[in-house]
């Protein structure tokens, strides 16, 4: 890491030495993020769609 990088290795600890995380860990992070986005989308838009459809 560069010397003038903001929040260098103190923010991430020893894991900052590795540029790419494990493939399995990255896969679960992406799946969790997508599941959270889908859940948020359903939680926000599904009541609006159901109300407009039934009324």
> Does residue 48 lie in a domain region?
yes
Q: Which two tokens stand for residue 10?
A: 């103190």
* pLDDT for res 31: 96
Q: pLDDT tens for residues 3-18?
A: 555 544 555 455 555 5
Answer yes or no: is 2 within a domain. Answer: no
In a domain, 47, yes or no: yes
pLDDT of residue 22: 75
Q: What's the pLDDT score for residue 51?
A: 83
* Main-chain phi, psi angles of 2, to 5 degrees: -75, 155
DSSP secondary structure letters along 25-47: HHHHHHHHHHHHHHHHHHHHHHH
> What's the domain range around 50?
20-54
How confident is the model at residue 38, as a pLDDT? 96
Query: Which parts of the chain have pLDDT scores under 50?
Result: 7-8, 12
pLDDT score for 37: 97
């Amino acid at each position: 890491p560069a010397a003038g990088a903001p929040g260098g290795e103190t923010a991430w600890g020893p894991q900052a030495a590795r540029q790419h995380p494990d493939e399995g860990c990255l896969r679960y992070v992406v799946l969790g993020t997508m599941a959270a986005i889908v859940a948020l989308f359903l939680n926000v838009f599904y009541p609006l769609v159901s109300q407009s459809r039934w009324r």
